[in-house]
Amino acid sequence: MKELILKYGCNPNQKPAKIYMESGNELPIKVLCGNPGYINLLDALNGWQLVSELKRVSNLPAATSFKHVSPAGAAIGLELDNVLKKIYWVDDLTLSPLANAYARARGADRMSSFGDFIALSDICDKETALLVKREVSDGVIAPGFSDEAFEILKKKKNGKYNIIQIDKNYIPDSIEKKQVFGITFEQMHNNLDINDSLLENIVTNNKDLPENKKLDLLISLIILKYTQSNSVCYVKDGQAIGIGAGQQSRIHCTRLAGNKADNWFLRQAKCVLNLPFKDDIKRADRDNAIDIYIGDNSADELLADGIWENLFVKKPDEFTKDAKREWLKNLKGVCLGSDAFFPFSDNIERAKKSGVEYIAQPGGSLRDDIVIDCCNKYDITMVFTGIRLFHH
């Protein structure tokens, strides 16, 4: 297939629309089921690059959950503990390493992942397909699908679920182009190799950087490479737990991603794990209720009389601000990556509140000394990578 005609472009008024190879070669993808749209394909192709790089640095299967041209989550296939299985709604499933990767990618920020496009680094197996089957999703891209997995997925959305196979050996041209307002932009493809060498310049007093934290920092940098700038990413134990994308101010990125990381950890508190939901409440409604419960307005929006009865068999106790603050003190060992330098120490102050102990950022600000001093105050290990990771 040398071109694929699309229903429309980014919006329904943008017709005609298609994708094709300017060289005239065959497309490196095959649509096995469904009719993917313009944004679906942007998510699929960016997601595939991301998971390919995650697998390269980790030697483990990887998955990402993409929404609106930025990842909502991404992870490698480390086994889940019982708490994470429960908050990701997968405690009733048998999970392969690839399924573990997608459970982590989808589960870290389930609100943002609703209606995602999935990218998988490896051939989709039955266990991963069964997980994907029950989530609200637009499609999946992978280098292949087992017969069992394909049979499961092709029935999703009444046979209209987007299933895309990509040639895992495809290498793009070194020069890429795009048009804006009729003007052609041309640049070298971002083939930056993200590896351990980027983590050698430790600029803080604390030089401790364990191997597992190096991997988490590399994961954060790879995720940032495919996230709309400005962006900041919090990672813990092989998965993103908070991504702040597309903000004009870096502190807003840090706050947004930090709030998501906090929410990820708050969901693991005992009072949240034991919320007395009615048996017939759908998974998406549970996600929405939990998001409100751990937020600031639960008393009015969830626990008020006439509301809680619709979801719970009994009224839950409020998760107070003081209780949340105490619980969040247990969040530690978090890694943070930034796609450009931190211009002020307020980013470090905010990151510390979400358990950040390791940071990778380019460096190069006029206030680097102030940022380093702030890290030293909290005994944070920070590296200057010397590279910027803007993505648009």
Catalytic machinery residues: 67-68, 230, 392
For residue 283, give the nearest of 71, 86, 54 by alpha carbon: 86
8 A C-beta contact, residue 17 and residue 25: no
**Backbone φ, ψ for residue 2 (5° rounding):** -100, -20
Which residues on neighbouring strands pair with residue 382, listed in sequence order? Answer: 359
How far is 383 from 386, CA to CA, in rounded Å? 9
For residue 358, give the nearest of 251, 228, 245, 213 by alpha carbon: 213
Task: Collapse the DSSP code of 2 into the 3-class scheme (helix H, G, I; strand E, B; otherwise coil) and give the result.
Answer: coil
How far is 254 from 248, CA to CA, in rounded Å? 11
How far is 250 from 346, CA to CA, in rounded Å? 10
For residue 355, give the nearest of 377, 329, 381 by alpha carbon: 329
Q: What is the length of the chain?
A: 392
Would you give the distance in Å from CA 176 to the centre of its chain?
25
Q: What residues contact residue 303 under an 8 Å CB cut-off, 6+ apart?
A: 293, 315, 316, 318
In this structure, the strands spanning 116-120 and 62-67 are: antiparallel
For residue 304, give the nearest of 290, 293, 291 by alpha carbon: 293
**Cβ-based burial of 37 (10 A; exposed 0-12, middle 13-18, buried ≥19):** buried
**Cβ-based burial of 248 (10 A; exposed 0-12, middle 13-18, buried ≥19):** exposed
Can you read off the two tokens belonging to residue 291? 């998001």
How far is 235 from 213, CA to CA, in rounded Å? 9
